[in-house]
Amino acid sequence: MRAAVLIFLITMVPFVTGCGTSSKREVIFFHAGSLAVPVARLAEGFEAQIPGIRIITEAAGSLVTARKITELGKPCDIMASADYIIIDELLIPEHASWNIGFATNEIVIAYTPRSGYSDEINSLNWTEILLKGDVYYGRSDPDSDPCGYRTLLMLKLAEEYYDIPGLTGRFMEKDRSFIRPKEIDLTALLEARAVDYVFQYKSVAVQHGLKYITLPPEINLGNNEFRDNYRSVSVDVAGRSPGERMIIQGDYILYGITLVSNSPNRDDAVEFLAYILGPEGREIIRRTGQNPVEPPVVSGSGELPVSVGNAVSR
């Protein structure tokens, strides 16, 4: 009798577990590291409005995030990239059908009061100070993270703007041991005093209370009016598959977001997207150091879900 009961319980475990799992409401959100703070606030706001739902977030460099979907086939509902072009180039049309540009940013040089020459550095002499032998700086990996290749694009623009031939190459060769997979990792280097400065997004510097040098709009990639100037430079980075490279042309910083085509939690993901793109979501993005795009920029050939379309048009 005891053996029969044991066999019954064992056979029932998968059934009970399966029933419990199917009742969960969750949305899986892969996003750029620089969106960690606003995404946390957005998730809190949405979960407060929709009891019982859980937003599962996973941050990484945007190129890495895209490859989790395209190469590893990891389940994902929503992807937000620090560069909208990554969604266009790597996800559409196989893994997504549309792309929404929803926020902007700019490249700055972040530091702390303890950084070397912190009382001297400014928007005119930063190249001289960061190239000093007793100063160390960090940047993110251009093959993993848009902030990494945007740093190189900015340096190429700076080389022309300040008329300093060879500037980009000098920066690329210096302090290579402080290259990290994503820009959010650079903050830890500053806090540990491993480096004096990092090339960073303005929003991340604001969120973490860091001091920062604002760069001229002609080179900071944050002003749409200088888009033609930004497009005069380019870099090559890792592409769709291992060993493949693709060219990234300079452009003003525009974050993109999309619904993954095989979204496992489509209905709830659509409503969360509508919340992010609506008035409340835009205000959260603004309060966490970024400028929402109003109205958002839509590209791709797919038709937007009704609630997302309504949010975009507000």
User: In the beta sheet, which residues pair with residue 213?
Assistant: 109
Q: 232: number of CA atoms within 13 Å, CB side?
A: 14
Residue 24 pLDDT exceeds 90: no
Residues 6+ apart with CB under 8 A from 287: 41
Q: Name the token pair of 75.
A: 């389940």
Domains and CATH numbers, the chain: 22-105+254-313 (3.40.190.10), 107-238 (3.40.190.10)
pLDDT digits (tens, 9 = 90+) for 152-184: 999 999 999 999 999 999 999 999 999 998 888
pLDDT at 313: 87
pLDDT at 26: 96
Mean pLDDT, residues 267-290? 95
Question: pLDDT band at 16, cuts 50/70/90?
Answer: very low
Question: pLDDT band at 222, cuts 50/70/90?
Answer: very high
Angle at which helix 306-313 crosses helix 266-277, to 10 degrees, equals: 0
149: left (phi over 0), alpha (psi -120 to 50) or beta: alpha
Mean pLDDT, residues 38-44? 96
Q: Outline where DSSP puts E strands in 73-133.
A: 78-81, 98-104, 107-111
pLDDT at 6: 42
Residue 256 pLDDT exceeds 90: yes
- Among 143-147, 224-228, 250-254, the range scoring the smallest mean pLDDT is 143-147
Backbone φ and ψ of 132, nearest 5°: -65, 150
Inter-residue contact 80 to 281 (CB < 8 Å): no
Rounded Cα distance between 238 and 242, Å, is 8
Question: pLDDT band at 23, cuts 50/70/90?
Answer: low
Average pLDDT, the chain: 91
Question: pLDDT band at 18, cuts 50/70/90?
Answer: very low
